[in-house]
A = this chain, B = another copy of it.
Amino acid sequence: MARPTPLSGFPEWLPADRIVEQHVLDTLRATFESWGFAPVETRAVEPMDQLLRKGEIDKEVYVLRRLHATPEEEAAEAGKQLGLHFDLTVPFSRYVLENAGKLAFPFRRYQIQKVWRGERPQDGRYREFYQADVDVVGAGELPFHHEVELPLVMADGLARLREVGVPPVRIRVNNRKVAEGFYRALGLTDVAAVLRCVDKLDKIGPDAVTEILARDAGASAAQAQACLALAGITGDDASVAERVLALGVRGELLEQGLAELVRVLEAAGEHAPGALTADLSIARGLDYYTGTVYESTLVGEEDLGSVCSGGRYDTLASDGKDTYPGVGLSIGVSRLVSRLVGRKLVTATRSVPSAVLVAVTDEERRRDSDRVARALRARGIPVEVAPSAAKFGKQIRHADRRGIPFVWFLTDDGHQVKDIRSGEQVDADPQAWTPPAEDLHVRVVPGPGAG
């Protein structure tokens, strides 16, 4: 066959970059577990009617069909067509309903999986990508304080990645109640229409937003000006609420929203200083958010778009009897990793796990090398044995090409281990020798592109 070429939108990494991705995934998982989130993994497929619930008819779902399904089987399965999930929220809400009787609520779960969207690929927008989600879901009710907690989980995970070269993250928060309360108090009743207009502010600018506010939401010039003034407010402390109230608008929902927003900012100020900012222009496209909403960018990499977003929803799922409110955020891991490796912000210290290559003197004595490898491995040292009894110079180059720092020799005078970076070679006992801690495992570190 001819040499295959990559498929646009389906990223794959060479081993050294996959090691970077694994480190990101491992760090997020460890963070989520340290906050007490339980692991869930759902199947990759959902029935199409489930995927298209919530009126997400514009989503580019991948629909599945079995290659050898007979026309009769296809007809029988027509109402149960399957598609690949496009996020982890829809399958999680189905999982909660399906297992509600076996789960303890409020239920804290994390979920790290690939999702698929058939959209046109662009820089940082893929057809197959990893998401890492945390959600807390209640049965019937869910206290507000989880809206304070959840962004701190993500801020913690992303902060733990700072040491390997990931840029600082800026989580921007808003509260739907602030926007809705403000618009209603102004006399604008089609809140969804106003949100859709304001959401375009970044793209089309204030003059055009004023025009479409008049056209789509019936806003007067004064009302539009107030909406734009609200959207212009940012800050990371209680002064945000004061500046909103200084616009002269009042209302119960608005004031509740402002109180909630301030609580999020104050907690962040204590537990994750600098990570959160209120930004009253954040609208978030999805209609189901009802309280705090979140969007995040990497400092200095804003062109990448949001790498972590989410919010509060009052009905993630409902089975007619019970409703399940929740709050959750999702990190777009593949988007993040593509930037980290694409700009060499983060790099792996070698392309393989091995700390040691055990050389082979001649094929008759390969078993002696295997025994050395076994002894080192039993003490937790990643090791491989040279594939051939080539000249030692060639075996050293084998290690060098992969970044393996040590080569072990079995000579007639005994065992020696060579640090191929410094050239230093010393006597060594396979039952006792240990590499320096920083060489034991492949590490993920800031790359040449890190600031």
Which residues of A does B touch, CB under 8 Å? 1-7, 10-15, 18-19, 21-22, 33-45, 47, 50, 53, 58-69, 82-84, 94-95, 97-100, 102-104, 106, 108-109, 114, 116, 118, 128, 136, 138, 143, 145-146, 149, 267, 270-271, 317-320, 351-354, 363, 366-367, 370, 374, 377, 380-385, 387-388, 398, 401-402
Contacts and interface: CB of A to CB of B under 8 A. Distances in A.
Contacts of A145: 363, 366
Report the 7 A-B pairs with minimum CB-CB distance, sorted nearest first.
Answer: A36-B384, A36-B354, A66-B118, A33-B353, A15-B38, A10-B43, A61-B67
A176 B20 CA distance: 40
Contacts of A65: 62-63, 65
30 contacts: A1-B53, A3-B100, A7-B45, A7-B82, A11-B43, A12-B95, A15-B109, A18-B39, A34-B381, A34-B383, A35-B382, A36-B384, A38-B351, A43-B128, A44-B44, A44-B116, A44-B128, A58-B68, A59-B67, A62-B66, A63-B67, A64-B64, A67-B83, A67-B118, A68-B118, A104-B351, A104-B402, A149-B370, A267-B370, A271-B374
Given A14-B99, A36-B354, A44-B128, A1 B318 contact: yes
B35 A377 contact: yes
B18 A40 contact: yes
Number of identical monomers bound together in the oligomeric complex: 2
B98 A3 contact: yes
Nearest to A48: B67
Nearest to A91: B12
B39 A15 contact: yes
A67 B118 CA distance: 8
B98 A84 contact: no
A319 B1 contact: yes
A36 B412 CA distance: 26
B267 A377 contact: no
B64 A106 contact: no
Contact of A98 (B4, B50, B370): B4
Contacts of A384: 35-36, 108
Given A13-B41, A14-B102, A38-B351, 16 more contacts: A1-B318, A2-B319, A6-B98, A15-B39, A15-B40, A15-B109, A36-B382, A37-B352, A38-B352, A45-B128, A60-B67, A61-B66, A62-B66, A138-B387, A267-B370, A271-B374
